[in-house]
Structure 1
Amino acid sequence: MTDKELKTLDDVNNFKVDEGRDLFSATHEEIEIGATTDIYFIRTKEILEKMNLEGTEIVAEIFAGGAGIVAGIDEALNLLKKKDVKVWALEEGSQVERKDVVMRIEGAYSDFGIFETAILGILASSSGWATAARECKQACGEIPMLCFGARHVHPAIAPVMERAALVGGADGASCILGAKLFGKKPSGTVPHALILTVGDTLEVAKAYDEFMPDDAARIILVDTFQDEAVEAVRLADALKENLDGIRLDTASERGGVTPGLVKEVRARLDQAGHNHVNIFVSGGLTPERIIELKSLGVNGFGVGSYISGAKAIDMTMDIKEINGKPIAKRGRIPGKTDSPNLKRVL
């Protein structure tokens, strides 16, 4: 392992992975030294230097391969801030259409080209997650929507994904690091594991009410042991005004959370005089399901796999000028693209 930026093929050959490494994800240091780049960028740098062209000034533009919400700008800039470059970019959370320029970089390509792979990957993945979150939030409207997707991705990128969801419009996130990176408190109450371990939903609800801080919402799962409607009324009868809400997360083996189930739970709570108890739904949600369920009185949604499994928005970097002269590969238009929404950021 080295803390020196990889600049030559010898550097790559001498780069060693620590034996006995427990986790295979790249560390911050490995990303920053270029260990996650494609090897051909190292070859490019070495060839340019041997041809005495390492100082060639270029203008590169990164454009989106599809429409969506841009995220990852801030993280990408952190890779460039120590380089002698000028950068223009869109703001995090901006809406883009296909082929819109997301970022423009001016400087010596041999200086920042090593980060092309990482920057494109950061922007592509984060923008895909942010876009999926925006679709869900638009379906929710004013109803709160939380991101519960951390369990569906590698832990190294879980906080990146949940932060991107917040950029896209999610109201909260369950991943501790993801939420804190965006300046929010992580959201969530208790899992089925606690209820199964204790053996009774009501006992867990009482313990949660007793032991958790006052600012922690009293929202309890009701699908673990008994009929959801029966369990919801049972908890509301016991906790009364202390119960903020119940969460429906019925297993797919039991049909999942259906419109009929939501209607029944809402009706039985109201009939028992518990109109104040909100209904929170999670499990396999999509924008279409959210729209279907929100009209039935659902007060909040937790979305996981729709966000975490979103397709990345491909990003491409093109060289558009070399030493002040417009240039481009065939099929692309030479010269800087007219992009009035770009702002100077570095």
Structure 2
Amino acid sequence: MSERELKDLNDVKEFSITKDRKLFSATSEEIEQGLTTDIYFIKTREILEKLGHSDTKVVAEVFASSPGIVAGIDEALNLLKTKEVKVWALEEGAKIEKKEVVMRIEGSYNDFGIFETAILGTLANSSGWATAAKECKEAAGEKPMLCFGARHVHPAVAPVMERAALIGGADGASCILGAKATGQEPAGTVPHALILTVGDTLEVAQAYHDLMPENEPRTILVDTFQDEAVESLRLAKELKANLDGIRLDTASERGGVTPGLLKEVRARLDQAGYEHVNIFISGGLTPARIKEFDKLGASGFGVGSYISSAKAINMTMDLKEVAGQPIAKRGRIPGITNNPRLKRRI
């Protein structure tokens, strides 16, 4: 089958996946073809065509199941730009209420209905990630909060997740593609693997200082080989003013980063005259833990799984008008829902 939009079940039957496919994630072209849609939308398209309703004008509304931050609007709009439709939507990053309409589409359902699955999924996941990031950023206040969640999701959606986190309020993201998608540069230092390979934290720290661009903060992991306080003082003594900060990411097998550990490291650095050394914390952070560490002197936070595993804000698409007449399924109110916050986008 040629790379055109699916029209009927025969097109679905003719499509096959090649044996040399490396990833099972959908490409942009496959999403635009309708290959990620639920099969019942293809059946709907075929039946509407046979019954002579392919050009029937409808108004569809997308609403949220719970409050939060909406994200994914731009991707949804990109899917609709080639269609004969009018679209009203909220801005990316807007705060939304439960049941609020986030998007309204006017046109022939047979023209845009094939994208219902993709639009809802895009908005649902992105909004969930953005909302979780917003919660973490509010807990961090003025201190930097970076998204480190790419390793917890499939690589195909990692940049989507981290872009959503940035929309939600994260100050930076480690995923290269995710950061670039919002016009930012990726943020992060080095993994434990580098220190383990070299065999000495100080040697890595000195190499990082010598080799990395001047605008890169000199923040180094200190939990790989030695006691975190001892390693922090060792680095500070050698790098002095060149050491911007240390990062605590203690393994869960050793109890993770605890309030007691943070207090000790902060106190020992201060007592030795290294008040300028910041303490960046990562590993299992939640808004509650961020607030606790913030009070104890943490300087910044790297959040992974709390954002990447955030529950999606489920989205629903309802037809509210057909051929100019108000309509709705039972339990819903027929007719267009008033939301003055919606802006014409297409």
Q: 1:235 offset after TM fit, Å? A: 0.2
Residue 214 of structure 1 aligns to a residue whose secondary structure is coil
Task: Show CA shifts across 1:54-81 (max 9, x none).
Answer: 0000000000011110000001100000
Q: How does 1:1-346 map to 2 (within 5 A)?
A: 2-346=2-346
In structure 1, stretches of 5+ residues that fail to align are none
Q: Distance in 2 between matches of 1:69 and 1:121?
A: 15
Q: TM-score, normalised by structure 1?
A: 0.99
Q: Distance in 2 between matches of 1:18 and 1:336?
A: 44
Q: Distance in 1 between matches of 2:163 and 2:116?
A: 22
Residue 279 of structure 2 aligns to a residue whose secondary structure is strand
Q: Distance in 1 between matches of 2:133 and 2:212?
A: 29
Runs of 4+ in 1 over 6 A off after TM superposition: none
Q: Distance in 1 between matches of 2:183 and 2:299?
A: 24
Task: Show CA shifts across 1:182-234 (max 9, x none).
Answer: 11000000000000000000000000000001011100000000000000010
Aligned length: 346
User: Partner amino acid for 1:249?
Assistant: D
Q: Distance in 2 between matches of 1:97 and 1:164?
A: 18
Q: TM-score, normalised by structure 2?
A: 0.99
Residue 87 of structure 2 aligns to a residue whose secondary structure is strand
Q: 1:16 offset after TM fit, Å? A: 1.5
Q: Distance in 2 between matches of 1:338 and 1:140?
A: 35
Q: Distance in 2 between matches of 1:100 and 1:238?
A: 56
Q: 1:2 offset after TM fit, Å? A: 3.3
Residue 163 of structure 1 aligns to a residue whose secondary structure is helix
Task: Show CA shifts across 1:108-152 (max 9, x none).
Answer: 000000000000000000000000000000100111000000000
Q: 1:19 offset after TM fit, Å? A: 1.6
User: Partner amino acid for 1:102?
Assistant: V
Q: Distance in 2 between matches of 1:16 and 1:83?
A: 26
Q: Distance in 1 between matches of 2:46 and 2:201?
A: 64
Amino-acid identity (%): 75
Residue 337 of structure 2 aligns to a residue whose secondary structure is coil
Task: Show CA shifts across 1:305-329 (max 9, x none).
Answer: 0000000000000000011110000
Task: Show CA shifts across 1:228-270 (max 9, x none).
Answer: 0000010000000000000000001111111111011001101
User: Partner amino acid for 2:43?
Assistant: R
User: Partner amino acid for 2:160?
Assistant: V
Residue 302 of structure 2 aligns to a residue whose secondary structure is strand
Residue 185 of structure 1 aligns to a residue whose secondary structure is coil
Residue 83 of structure 1 aligns to a residue whose secondary structure is coil
Q: Distance in 2 between matches of 1:167 and 1:2?
A: 36
Residue 291 of structure 1 aligns to a residue whose secondary structure is helix
Note the aligned Cα RMSD (angstroms).
Answer: 0.6
Q: Distance in 2 between matches of 1:154 and 1:148?
A: 14
Q: 1:98 offset after TM fit, Å? A: 0.9
In structure 2, stretches of 5+ residues that fail to align are none
Residue 43 of structure 1 aligns to a residue whose secondary structure is helix
User: Partner amino acid for 2:66?
Assistant: G
Q: Distance in 1 between matches of 2:128 and 2:28?
A: 22
Q: Distance in 1 between matches of 2:75 and 2:2?
A: 22
Q: Distance in 1 between matches of 2:273 and 2:292?
A: 25
Q: Distance in 1 between matches of 2:211 and 2:150?
A: 26
Residue 333 of structure 1 aligns to a residue whose secondary structure is coil
Q: Distance in 2 between matches of 1:220 and 1:260?
A: 20
